[in-house]
């Protein structure tokens, strides 16, 4: 992510890493925003808040959007699970981090009224986009785990595969479904990735 910080010279661009390091002099950039300032401001497109800095997200393409829509359809078809899907909602990980999960699968309860969301989602789902860098993706997944999200899934619309994430890292899902132990909830991967096929080719 590139962004001018208060220490950048006129006409120059400051590269801010996850740790807030200044790409030119490797010093620590001063914080640009407080959490309250961020929460009271709207951005188009919305951005994440990391250690006092705004962090841009890759804008998902067509496949990214199709998977988001198909996930919403899937959980709507299984309304007996009492779950809802929310896309890219501001989610406060901590006092210094606010993320925008691609899809949060949440209980249909009062936590839906939270702005930003502070209750851990039942499932946090990230969808890879062109230009995503895996180290940065893993930092996001680590943040969800640190918040207390127990089920974290990563979907790749290019290779049509899914991964589970835990503190032990990513694990490729084998088979055609992701299931949750001791729960009726599952995701049919054939149904999910069928949304990426051209209807004329079916």
The DSSP secondary structure of 153-183, one letter per residue, reads EEEETTTTEEEEEETTEEEEPPSSEEE-TTS
What pLDDT, in 10s, does the model give residues 114-130? 999 999 999 999 999 98
Domain contains 42:
no
The answer to which of 51-60, 105-114, 154-163, 183-192 has the lowest mean pLDDT is 51-60
Number of other residues whose CB lies within 10 A of the CB of residue 150 = 13
Residue 166: count of CB within 10 angstroms of its CB: 12
Q: Is the pLDDT of residue 187 over 60?
A: yes
**Rg value, the chain, Cα:** 18
Distances, alpha carbon 76 to alpha carbons 68, 81, 111, 124, 172, in Å: 12, 9, 18, 17, 26
Predicted pLDDT at 3: 41
Tell me the pLDDT tens digit for each residue of 68-89: 999 999 999 999 999 999 999 9
Length of the chain: 202
Using CA atoms, how far apart are residues 12 and 105, in angstroms rounded to an integer? 41
Cβ-proximal residues to 157 (8 Å cutoff; 6+ apart), any chain: 63, 64, 66, 67, 127, 128, 193, 196
Is the residue at 55 inside a domain? no
CATH number at residue 91: 3.90.1570.10
Residue 17 lies in a domain: no
pLDDT at site 13: 37
Confidence of residue 197 (pLDDT cuts 50, 70, 90): confident
The span from the CA of 16 to the CA of 53, in Å, is 8
d(CA 164, CA 173): 7
pTM over 0.75: yes
What is the number of domains present in the chain?
1
Identify the bridge partners of residue 161 per DSSP, sorted by sequence position. Answer: 156
User: What are the start-end ranges of the H helices in the chain?
Assistant: 35-39, 62-77, 134-147, 189-193
Any domain includes 86: yes
Domain span including residue 162: 62-201
Asked, for residue 162, whether it belongs to a domain, the answer is yes
In tens, the pLDDT along 30-73 reads 668 899 999 999 999 999 999 999 998 887 789 999 999 999 99
Asked if the structure places residue 129 within a domain, the reply is: yes
40 occurs within a structural domain: no
pLDDT at residue 145 is higher than 80:
yes
């Amino acid at each position: 992510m590139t962004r001018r910080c208060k220490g950048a010279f006129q006409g120059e661009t400051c590269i801010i890493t996850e740790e807030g390091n200044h790409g030119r002099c490797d010093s620590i950039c001063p914080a640009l925003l407080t959490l309250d300032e961020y929460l009271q401001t709207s951005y188009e497109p919305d951005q994440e808040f990391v250690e006092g800095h705004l962090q841009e997200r890759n804008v998902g393409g067509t496949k990214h959007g199709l998977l988001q829509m198909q996930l919403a359809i899937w959980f709507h078809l299984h309304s007996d699970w009492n779950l809802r899907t929310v896309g890219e909602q501001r989610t406060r990980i901590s006092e210094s981090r606010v993320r925008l999960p691609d899809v949060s699968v949440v209980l249909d309860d009062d936590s839906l009224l939270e702005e930003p969301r502070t209750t851990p989602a039942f499932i946090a789902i990230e969808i890879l986009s062109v230009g995503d860098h895996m180290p940065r993706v893993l930092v996001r997944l680590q943040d969800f785990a640190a918040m207390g999200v127990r089920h974290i899934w990563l979907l790749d619309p290019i290779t049509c595969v899914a991964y589970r994430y835990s503190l032990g890292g990513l694990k490729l899902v084998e088979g055609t479904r992701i299931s949750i132990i001791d729960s009726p909830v599952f995701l049919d991967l054939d149904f999910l990735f069928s949304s990426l096929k051209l209807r004329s080719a079916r």
